[in-house]
Amino acid sequence: MRAGQQSRLRLATLIAPGTLLVAAFFGCLGVLFVQSFLPSAGMGRLGDGFTLASYAAFLGDPFYVGYLLRSIAIAVYTTAIVLVLGYVVAYHMTLCGRRMRLAISIVLLVQFFTSFVIRTYAVMLVLGRFGIANRTLQAIGLTDEPLRLLFNEFAVATGIVLTAVPYMVFPIYGSLMAIEPNLRAAAESLGATRRRIFWEVVFPLSLPGVAAAVVIVFLFALTSYIAPGLLGGGYFDMIANLIYDKAVNAQDYPFAAAAAVVSVATTLVLVYLMQKGFRLAIRGTER
C-alpha cells in the first residue's frame, strides 16, 4: 500500500467515529423534529398528517412558556455567579505555588468526575432541614428553627453553581496560562499598577477562555434536569423537567418534542448572540 493511501486510510479511520456520532445526533434531532408535528393523541402516526397543534399548545400557554423563561433566567444569573467564582479560582491558580495549584486541581477534578447525582445529593445534605447549613445557623444563634433552604429556586441555583465551577475554571485557567509572562513584566516596568495590569492586559487576553467557559456553563445550567428534580422537589421545575414529564408521565410525545425543538432553537439563538458579543469584545481589546 502506498504512503498516500495509508495516509488517507488513517485519516478516514480517525474521522469515521466522529462522523457516525454527528450523524446519530442529527438523526435523533430529525426524528424529534418530525415527532413535534404529529398529533398529540398517543405517539401519533405519520399517516395522521402533520399539525402545529403542539407548538400552539406550548407557545400559546404562558404556563408552559414560563418554564423556558425561568430556565433562561436561572441560567443567566447562575452563569454570572460561576464566572466570578471560577475566574477567582483560576486566577489564583496562576499565582499560587505548585503544591497549592496541584491541590486545587485535584479537588476540581474529583468534583468534575464525580457523578452529578452524588454531587447534587451532597448539596441536599448541606441545605436539608437538619443539614449542615441549618445546624450552623442555629448553633450560632441566627435562627431558632430550621430554614427552608431546599425545594425552591435558591436550592436549585445553589446546586447548579456548586456543580458547575470546574466547567468554568479549567477553560479560564488554560487561557490565563497561555498569556506570555513578559507582557505583565513589561506593563509593570512601564509603571502600571497590578489592578491596571489585570484589567488592561490579563483580563482582555483571557476573554477567549472566558467565552468558551461561559457558553459551557450556560448550556449546563439551561439544560439542568437533576438539580431542579432533586433540589427543586417538584416546587421549582425547569424546561428539562417539563419535557421529561410530558414524554414519560403524560406520554404526550409530540408536545414534548415541540417543547424540545423550541428549547433547542432558543438555545442556539442565545449562544449565537453570546458568541457574537464575545467576538466584538475580543476585537475591541485587540485595537
**Contact call for residues 213 and 168 (beta carbons, < 8 A):** yes
Tens of pLDDT, residue by residue, the chain (287 residues): 566 667 777 777 878 888 898 999 899 999 999 999 998 764 445 445 789 999 999 999 999 999 999 999 999 999 999 999 999 999 999 999 999 999 999 999 999 999 888 999 999 999 998 899 999 999 998 888 999 999 999 999 999 999 999 999 999 999 999 998 888 888 888 888 888 989 988 999 999 999 999 999 999 999 999 999 999 998 999 999 999 999 999 999 999 999 999 999 999 999 999 999 999 988 877 66
Q: Can you say whether the dihedral through the CA atoms of 21, 76, 207, 88 is positive or negative?
A: negative
Distance of CA 80 to the CA centre of its chain: 11
Provide the residue ranges of all domains of the chain, joining segments of one domain with +. Answer: 54-286
Helices 3-35 and 253-286: crossing angle in degrees, nearest 10, is: 130
Query: In this structure, which topology does domain 54-286 adopt according to CATH?
Result: MetI-like fold (1.10.3720)
Backbone torsions φ then ψ of 114, nearest 5 degrees: -80, 145
State the pLDDT at residue 82: 98
- Kindly report whether the global pTM for this prediction surpasses the value 0.75: yes
Extract the C-alpha cell encoding 129.
432541614
Q: How far apart are CA 104 and CA 88, in angstroms?
A: 12
**Rounded CA separation 221/216 (Å):** 9
In sequence order, what DSSP letters do the residues of 249-269 get, joined into one string?
A: IS--HHHHHHHHHHHHHHHHH
Asked if residue 236 lies in contact with residue 153, where contact means CB atoms within 8 angstroms, the answer is yes
Amino acid identity of 11? Answer: L
63: buried, middle or exposed (CB in 10 Å: 19+, 13-18, 0-12)?
exposed
Q: What is the pLDDT of residue 46?
A: 47
Residue 110, burial from CB neighbour count under 10 angstroms (0-12, 13-18, 19+): exposed
The residue type found at 226 is I
What confidence score (pLDDT) does residue 93 get?
Answer: 95
Q: Could you give the CA distance from residue 281 to residue 278 in angstroms, rounded to a whole number?
A: 5
Instruction: Render 167-216 in DSSP notation, one character per residue.
Output: HHHHHHHHHHHTS-HHHHHHHHHTT--HHHHIIIIIHHHTHHHHHHHHHH
Q: How much of the chain is helix, strand and coil, in % rounded to 5?
A: 80, 0, 20
CB atoms within 10 A of CB 15: 10
162's grid cell: 456548586
Alpha-helix residue ranges (DSSP H) falling in 96-130: 98-113, 116-127
